[in-house]
Amino acid sequence: MPRLGAHLSIGGGLPRAVERAVVSGCETLQIFTKSAGQWRARPLPDAEIAQFRRLVKVSGVRPVFAHNSYLINLAASSPLLRRRSLDALWDEIVRAESLGLDGLIMHPGSYTTGTEAGGLRLIAEGLGDLLSRRRLKTMILLEHTAGQGTNLGYRFEHLAAILDGVTWSKKVGVCIDTCHLVAAGYDITRERGYRDTFRQLDAIVGLDRVKAFHLNDSKKPCGSRVDRHEHIGQGCLGLDTFRRLLNDRRFTHSPMLLETPKDDERERRRSATAGLEIDPCDAINLATLRSLIGSGPAATGDAER
């Protein structure tokens, strides 16, 4: 079955995220390695890195991903913002490498001025520059987006254009977000739409490029181009959409990560065993997802091949 997990807090230090993953029942994990809303990042002490890597190894929580800062924009045409974005992304890559992470997930970027084609070219050139600096173990995963404003990456053709433009493309993969798919106009809520969407993804990008999924329901309807996550089964996607994906034989071994809303700070509970602040919503959403595995037809597209 797919490995299920969530994006969890690094409050108290990076190793605490692994401890939270274990207590929450996660099999895979996503974190920020720094504040997502700041350019600057605190240096990671060697002892913290060593403890994080040790806990990942003994816990069996794998793979582990980081999501990069929301400020980074490789499609920016402003020389200052572009240079700052490249430097910040390189710092994120170095941090991910030091922590032994399997992937660094990034939003492709937004063309604040110019054209989509120009923005896609800038993203590919920027990634090519960074990936040529040294041999990396951590993969870079382009996240498919909802397409708000001038955000790029909401069409499969955008992702393919970036991949084609990166010389070191074997180190670049794709992360698919269920909320973003629907918001961008890919109607996976219907069985036929699900088949057609993944047929297109395979033809344009290649399913072998898909290295992770974000499992999120959507507050907004199909084609809204608005990125608003909702708890599993409580939004426009519904449980049947997640049932199809979780029972899709093509993604049996894929890591699938929640990015659903967190509970109000006042309602969080403290685990009596680990002394950790744990969000109950993550455990509830994970339980909902696990209840869908094996509860429906396994399939999706095999018959059409």
pLDDT over threshold 60, residue 203 = yes
The amino acid present at 97, given as its one-letter code, is: E
Instruction: Give me the pLDDT at residue 297, please.
Output: 56
Instruction: Give me the pLDDT at residue 296, please.
Output: 65
pLDDT band at 276 (very low <50, low <70, confident <90, very high): confident
Residue 294: which domain range?
A: 3-304
Instruction: Give me the pLDDT at residue 302, please.
Output: 46
Half-sphere exposure of 237 (CA within 13 A, CB side): 29
Contact 134, 92 (CB under 8 A): no
Instruction: Give me the pLDDT at residue 43, please.
Output: 95
Partners of residue 152 on adjacent β-strands: 109
Instruction: Give me the pLDDT at residue 76, please.
Output: 95
- CA torsion, points 27, 282, 66, 298, in degrees to nearest 10? 50
Partners of residue 30 on adjacent β-strands: 7, 65
pLDDT over threshold 70, residue 303 = no
Q: Which two tokens stand for residue 161?
A: 């254009």
Instruction: Give me the pLDDT at residue 272, please.
Output: 45
- Percent of the chain at pLDDT > 70 equals 93
Query: What would the mean pLDDT of 268-278 be, rounded to a whole number?
Result: 60
Query: What would the mean pLDDT of 52-80 be, rounded to a whole number?
Result: 97
Query: What would the mean pLDDT of 126-152 be, rounded to a whole number?
Result: 96
Q: How far is CA 253 from each of CA 7, 51, 62, 63, 210, rounded to the nearest angstrom?
A: 19, 27, 11, 11, 11
pLDDT over threshold 50, residue 171 = yes
User: CA 69 to CA 283: how far, in whole Å?
Assistant: 25
Q: Tell me phi and psi for residue 87, to 5 degrees.
A: -65, -40
Contact 234, 189 (CB under 8 A): no
Q: 140 CB contacts (<8 Å, ≥6 apart)?
A: 93, 103, 104, 106, 127, 131, 171, 172, 173
* pLDDT tens digit sequence for 92-138: 999 999 999 999 999 999 998 889 999 999 999 999 999 999 999 99
Instruction: Give me the pLDDT at residue 263, please.
Output: 75
Tell me the CA end-to-end span of the chain in Å, nearest whole number: 22
Closest alpha carbon to 64 in 107, 95, 36: 95
Query: What would the mean pLDDT of 219-234 be, rounded to a whole number?
Result: 97
Q: Which two tokens stand for residue 5?
A: 């997990």
Angle at the Cα of 187 from the Cα atoms of 175 and 301, rounded to 5 degrees: 75
Instruction: Give me the pLDDT at residue 58, please.
Output: 98
pTM: 0.93
Angle at the Cα of 121 from the Cα atoms of 90 and 66, rounded to 5 degrees: 35
Query: What would the mean pLDDT of 189-200 be, rounded to a whole number?
Result: 98
Burial class (CB in 10 A: 0-12, 13-18, 19+), 208: exposed
Q: How far is CA 186 from the centre of its chain?
A: 18
Range in 33-47, 69-83, 266-280 the model is least confident about: 266-280
Instruction: Give me the pLDDT at residue 71, please.
Output: 96
Q: What is the helix (H) or strand (E) element at residue 30, kind and residue range?
A: strand 28-31
Token pair 């399997």 is found at 102
Q: How far is CA 72 from the centre of its chain?
A: 15
Instruction: Give me the pLDDT at residue 274, please.
Output: 57
Q: How many structural domains does the chain have?
A: 1
pLDDT over threshold 80, residue 247 = yes
pLDDT, greater one: 302 or 84: 84
Instruction: Give me the pLDDT at residue 243, please.
Output: 98
Compute the chain's Rg from CA coordinates. 19
pLDDT over threshold 70, residue 268 = no
pLDDT over threshold 70, residue 183 = yes
CATH of the domain at 60: 3.20.20.150
Determine the 3-state secondary structure of 130 from DSSP: helix
Average pLDDT, the chain: 93
Instruction: Give me the pLDDT at residue 88, please.
Output: 97
Q: Tell me phi and psi for residue 77, to 5 degrees.
A: -90, -15
Instruction: Give me the pLDDT at residue 305, please.
Output: 33
Partners of residue 139 on adjacent β-strands: 103
Query: What would the mean pLDDT of 274-285 be, rounded to a whole number?
Result: 84
Determine the 3-state secondary structure of 204 from DSSP: helix
